[in-house]
A and B are shown apart, each in its own frame.
Chain A
Amino acid sequence: MNHQPYERWIFESDSLTHAEQEALATHLATCKECARLRQKWSQLEEEALSSPVMLAPQPGFTRRWRHSLIERRQREQRRQAWRFFLFLVAATTLVFLSLVCILLLTTSPTEWIQAAVHTLATTASTFAAARGLAFTWLSLAPASLNIIIGIALGLSFSILVLIWTFAIWKTALTGVWNR
């Protein structure tokens, strides 16, 4: 037996027209299967679905939320920092690879080797000249000035290292972009 549309109407009894309700009642009087389904549905609706119980979490849900918010935020900030660093590494690698590609396309390996040897030689000679100059200057300058310059250089270097460490620590801890 075809139970449609009656089967559907059983579950939509509130929105049926008068004629549909009459047709459904006539069908239910002759169809035991639909009548049984109707009876079970009414029972279920009345017993379980008419006044459903709202369950609540264990006490302290909001407190647990606050704790989890702190943890999740820290985790998210760390993830964000990692994403930022990875982006920087990827961008640097991309730029480096692009330069290598451009060099490969525009120059030959022989020219590369020549340029590298030339740069090395120039750097070594420049370094030697700078060292000689520095020693000469240090031997001519008064000892107190040398000490002051040494302290200034050491302090500058230390401050730079501190700033760098602080930036890394801050970025790793608090992320790059705040909500």
Chain B
Amino acid sequence: MNNLEAEWLQQAIHGDDNAFSLIVETYQRPVYNLCYRMLGDPQEAEDAAQETFWRAYQALNRYDQQRPFATWLLSIAAHYCIDQQRKRRFPTLALDLLPEETIPDATPNPEKVFLELEHQGQIQRLLARLSPPDRAAIILRYWYQFSEEEIARSLSLSISAVKSRLFRARRELAQAYEAPAASALPERRKNESPAL
């Protein structure tokens, strides 16, 4: 957090809503990304990101300023998304509604767009296989480069629990990564009806 953001934070703590809006502007992307990776649906991710900022806004007075603000904010988002995942029975994955910002290059290149969407879809499918806390640990590790200590603090877990979750999640991801090849449809035999 730079000096300007620290100043906004101080102003927000003293009740300045405009300063908090600047914080929202700054952190919207990491928070939204975490929510999307956790929930797999753009609309739910938007709602979860809004809820995260609302919870942060309400809890600003309790924010420990020794702790990095981004870690604290992402911790709120992760906890909220884990709760949401536990509440619903089946994970959703709206691949046709992937956010536009998936493609950083705005050049209209259908093939590139398709491949990128496919790639993002595959990542989401892999993440969807993990339990919510394991998923949160993986996302914080690889998307935000959090250390094991930071993940532990963010998810209210012990470091050994984080290590164990990361190991389990990585193994599951690696095993699932070969699933597309293994589960691909068998090649149609000669004279076989395409309908079958």
Cα of A53 to Cα of B101 in the assembled complex, Å: 9
A55 to B99 alpha-carbon distance, docked (Å): 7
Q: Is A102 an interface residue (CB 8 A)?
A: no
A178: nearest chain-B partner, CB-CB: B15
Tell me what chain B mostly uses at the interface: helix, strand, loop, or mixed. Answer: helix
Contact: A65 with B99, CB < 8 Å?
A: no
What is the bound-complex CA distance between A121 and B35, given in angstroms? 71
Shortest beta-carbon distance from B145 to chain A in Å: 10
| CB-CB contacts below 8 Å: A14-73 with B | 36-37, 40-41, 43-44, 47-49, 52-58, 61-62, 64-66, 68-69, 72
Q: Which residue of B lies closest to A56 (CB)?
A: B101
| Docked CA distance A54–B24 (Å) | 16
B149 within 8 A of A: no
Q: How far apart sit A69 and B29, CA to CA, in the bound complex (Å)?
A: 18
With A40-B177, A57-B99, A69-B17 in contact, is A52–B142 under 8 Å at CB?
yes
Give B120's nearest chain A residue, CB to CB: A53
Q: Which residues of B contact A127 (CB under 8 A)?
A: none
Pair B57/A69 contact, Cβ less than 8 Å? yes
A40 proximity list for chain B (CB < 8 A) = 174-175, 177-178
In the complex, whether B45 has a CB less than 8 A from a CB of chain A is: yes
Contacts of B171 in A (CB 8 A): 7, 11, 37
User: Which residues of chain A are within 8 angstroms of B57 by Cβ–Cβ distance?
Assistant: 69
A-B contact count (CB 8 A): 97
B31-46 at interface with A (beta carbon < 8 Å):
32-33, 36-37, 42, 45-46
Say yes or no: A55-B101 contact (C-beta < 8 A), given A8-B167, A179-B15.
yes
Q: Is the interface of A mostly helix, strand, loop or mixed?
A: helix
By a beta-carbon cutoff of 8 Å, the part of chain B in contact with chain A is 15, 17, 21, 24-25, 28-30, 32-33, 36-37, 42, 45-46, 49-50, 53-54, 57-58, 61, 98-102, 104, 119-120, 122-123, 126, 142-143, 166-167, 170-171, 173-175, 177-178
Q: What are 26 A-B contacts with C-beta separation under 8 Å?
A: A7-B171, A11-B167, A40-B178, A41-B170, A41-B173, A44-B126, A48-B122, A48-B123, A53-B102, A53-B120, A54-B30, A55-B98, A56-B28, A56-B32, A56-B33, A57-B32, A57-B45, A57-B46, A61-B28, A62-B28, A64-B50, A65-B53, A69-B17, A69-B54, A179-B15, A179-B61
